[in-house]
Structure formats: C-alpha cells, structure tokens
Amino acid sequence: MPVRYGRRLTGRERSAGANRHLGIALTFVAGATNAGGYLAVEQYTSHMTGIVSLMADNLALREFDIVLGGLGALVSFIAGAACSAVMVNYARRRDLQSEYALPLLLEAVLLLAFGFLGTRLSAVKGLFVPLTVMLLCFIMGLQNAVISKLSHAEIRTTHVTGMITDIGIELGKFVYWNRPGTLVRPDVLANRERLNVLATLVASFFIGGIAGALGFAQIGYLSTVPLALVLVIMAGVPAIDDLLGTLRRWKA
C-alpha cells in the first residue's frame, strides 16, 4: 500500500473518498469476523438488536441465564465503543495523526488474541458469557464506533440493518414519479452516489461473511490472523508518523 494512500486512509485528515474506502474495507473485516465468530461462539456478535430482543424475550420467559448472557455481550459491545471514543479523543487532544488508526491497531491486536487464544478463551467465563463472546462483541463495538466518529455517523460497518433501510429509502426516491407541473415542492430525487456506496458496503459485508465462514471452517480461530494483518497495514502509516515525530522531538 503506498504511503500517501495509507496516510489518507486512516489519518487524521479525512475526505469522503477515504471514508468510503475505509468503510468498505472495515465492512469486509466486520462481515468476516461476525460470520467466522458465529461458527466459533454460535452467536452473531455485531447484532445488538437481536441480542436486546433476546434478552427481552427470555426475561419474559424467566430464562435468566440467557438474559445475563445477552447482558454480557451488550456490555462488551458498549465497552468497545467507549474504548474507541477514549482513544480517538486522547489522540485528538494531543494532535496525533493516528487518532483513528489507534483503535484499528487495537482491533488488530484483539483479533490476533482471538486467533491464537480462542480455544482457551472459549472455556473461560467472563461477564456471564465466554471470553470469546465478550472479545468479539468488544471488537465490533470498537470498530463501529471509530468509523462512526470519522464519518460523522454517515457510515456504519456492523449495522447492516441501517444500511438496508437507507437503500430502501433511496430506492423509494428513485422510483418516485415527479408529476409534471407540480410547483409546490422540489422534485424527489434519489442520491445515486449514496445508493451505490450503501450497496457496496452491504456487498462487502456479505463477501466478508463468506470469507470468514470459509476461513474458520478451514483453519479455525487462526482465520482472524489475515484480518488483523489487513488492519495493521491500513492503520500503520499514521502510527509510524506519530512514532517518528516523537523520536524527532526526543532528539531535538
């Protein structure tokens, strides 16, 4: 990856094009992690809507063990999002180039931990759920928060329901018939560029899901290692820029 492109992709200075490219890559990673993670822990770890609904259903049915398990997953997702916000704001207040790269590097480290320690972690209970579930939910929250912050909530990488909803809205505008001679309101027009971006993001999540499922079926937990390497490659340039800047200040 060229250095200039890497700096644009995850650096502090943002553009709509860089946000789209990063969003597509992270959506692929999220899809692969979510699908592969399901085969590992038998639970989709990016689907907080389903988890909250599961908690409500089982609370009504007095299945309190399942409710507590859902709570553990939910708390882990929230903790991941909070951690991302802390890291971004810490770097921003210190004028670092890697304010968005740091959470992605942490995600890479956690994916490596999941890949190399997944079997052991699955046998250890955390907050009402195995540590593997907590780790994956934390990763999903971490990633979704960082892309939300850098894109000002225009892009989500784990929230496919929102993307599908937005696709439906744009398609509704696309097929709307603007009757000639109606002057009261401006014509209803679809945002074709946004529709294309949304469709690409959903396709990336789907393709990532296929890759993640096939990878886990073939090599198990270690299938997360290539995903971690992708994140390191994408986030490495701004982090190296900050490291070199720190070394220069120490020498001065």
- The confidence score (pLDDT) of residue 183 equals 65
- The confidence score (pLDDT) of residue 33 equals 92
* Residue 167, burial from CB neighbour count under 10 angstroms (0-12, 13-18, 19+): middle
Phi, psi of 130 (to 5 degrees): -60, 150
- The confidence score (pLDDT) of residue 187 equals 81
Q: Are 22 and 9 in contact (CB under 8 A)?
A: yes
For 24, the token pair is 């597509």
- The confidence score (pLDDT) of residue 226 equals 94
Handedness of CA 127, 128, 132, 135 (dihedral sign): negative
- The confidence score (pLDDT) of residue 252 equals 67
- The confidence score (pLDDT) of residue 182 equals 62
Phi, psi of 6 (to 5 degrees): -60, -35
**H helices, E strands: number in the chain:** 9, 0
pLDDT tens for 171-213 read: 999 998 887 766 677 888 888 999 999 999 999 999 999 999 9
- Weakly modelled stretches of the chain, pLDDT under 70: 1, 181-183, 252
Q: Are 85 and 149 in contact (CB under 8 A)?
A: yes
Q: Are 98 and 240 in contact (CB under 8 A)?
A: no
For 169, the token pair is 């809205």
- The confidence score (pLDDT) of residue 156 equals 83
- The confidence score (pLDDT) of residue 120 equals 84
Handedness of CA 83, 220, 25, 244 (dihedral sign): positive
